[in-house]
């Protein structure tokens, strides 16, 4: 276990208090944290559909396993994803929100833990445009990794935006503690925070494109839709994806 404390308190004042309360504490049954198991391969791409009759909107999510944040192309992937769907002015959001008017927002992001990280792209759309919205997402992903690679202007803009906004993520004490906790919990280098901006600065257009093309594999993606199945299924079938109906607890209804 580790105890993190932040705020207007000095070590001289804090340590005696901690010693008085925890100095004699002896943990029992301590185990090193185990990495999360690797995700088993399955038949993909696949679309899981959870029925919510009468829903005015459908929640849409695409998910895929990617690498770890200690991988050499991590920073390239960060900037590449920001261009694709990690910011308000990203390609995905400008398409689905500003051009098509399908949603109030669409975002792509990473979730890294012990094992392989997850990349996801998420949005909520009006029921009637569920299928078309997914088609647009598929198109943006395919374009970014092949037909319309990231431009030098896009990469430079978001690289600078990431650098300028990074410090703002540590405005409050809890954010600093969260960062330190993640470094300890996931075994990241002790200077992880300090090396971040240098890593971002090294990102080039070619390296960002290479990272997206290497990591994002449409044929390996899992799609999840929660919405009115009767209304959205015809549009989903037009996408050509294998559809599996799930109950609200994630149980496969096709096996019952």
Q: What is the CATH number of the domain that holds 81?
A: 3.30.830.10
Kindly report the average pLDDT of the chain as a whole number: 92
Q: Specify if 48 maps to a domain.
A: yes
Cα–Cα distance for residue pair 30/16, rounded to 1 Å: 25
- Asked whether residue 115 is domain-assigned, the answer is yes
Say what angle helices 229-237 and 130-142 make with each other, to 10 degrees.
40
Stretch 28-56: mean pLDDT, rounded? 79
Would residue 177 count as lying in a domain? yes
In a domain? residue 5: no
Inside any domain, residue 205? yes
Confidence band of 33 (pLDDT split at 50, 70, 90)? low
Q: What is the pTM of this model?
A: 0.89
Residue in the block written with tokens 């792509």? 108
Note whether residue 175 is domain-resident. Answer: yes
Q: Please indicate, yes or no, if residue 12 is contained in any of the structural domains.
A: no
Q: How confident is the model at residue 159 (pLDDT cuts 50, 70, 90)?
A: very high
Position 116 confidence tier, pLDDT thresholds 50, 70, 90? confident
Domain of residue 87, residue span:
42-255
Q: Is residue 10 part of a domain?
A: no
- Choice between 24 and 94, residue whose per-residue pLDDT is larger: 94
Please state the rounded mean pLDDT for residues 33-58: 82
pLDDT at 40 over 80: no
pLDDT band of residue 110 (cuts 50, 70, 90) is very high
Q: Which two three-digit tokens encode residue 243?
A: 């559809």
At 44, the pLDDT band (50, 70, 90 cuts) reads confident
Total number of domains constituting the chain: 1
**pLDDT of residue 38 exceeding 70:** no
């Amino acid at each position: 276990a580790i105890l993190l404390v932040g705020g207007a308190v000095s070590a001289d004042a804090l340590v005696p208090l901690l010693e008085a309360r925890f100095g004699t504490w002896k943990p029992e049954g301590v185990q090193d944290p185990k990495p999360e198991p690797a995700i088993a391969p399955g038949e993909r791409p696949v679309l899981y559909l959870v029925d919510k009759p009468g829903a005015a909107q459908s929640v849409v999510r695409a998910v895929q396993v990617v690498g770890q944040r200690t991988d050499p192309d991590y920073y390239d992937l960060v900037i590449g994803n920001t261009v694709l769907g990690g910011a308000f002015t990203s390609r995905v959001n400008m398409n689905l929100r500003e051009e098509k008017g399908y949603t109030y927002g669409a975002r792509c992001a990473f979730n890294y833990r012990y094992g392989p990280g997850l990349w996801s792209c998420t949005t909520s759309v009006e029921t009637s445009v569920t299928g078309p919205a997914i088609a647009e997402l598929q198109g943006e992903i395919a374009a970014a990794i092949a037909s319309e690679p990231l431009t030098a202007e896009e990469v430079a803009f978001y690289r600078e935006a990431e650098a300028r906004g990074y410090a703002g993520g540590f405005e409050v004490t809890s954010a600093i503690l969260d960062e330190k906790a993640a470094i300890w919990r996931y075994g990241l280098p002790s200077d992880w925070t300090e090396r971040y901006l240098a890593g971002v600065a090294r990102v080039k257009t070619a390296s960002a494109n290479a990272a997206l093309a290497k990591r994002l594999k449409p044929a390996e993606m899992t799609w999840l839709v929660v919405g009115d199945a009767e209304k959205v299924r015809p549009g989903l079938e037009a996408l050509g994806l294998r559809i599996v109906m799930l109950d609200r607890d994630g149980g496969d209804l096709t096996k019952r």
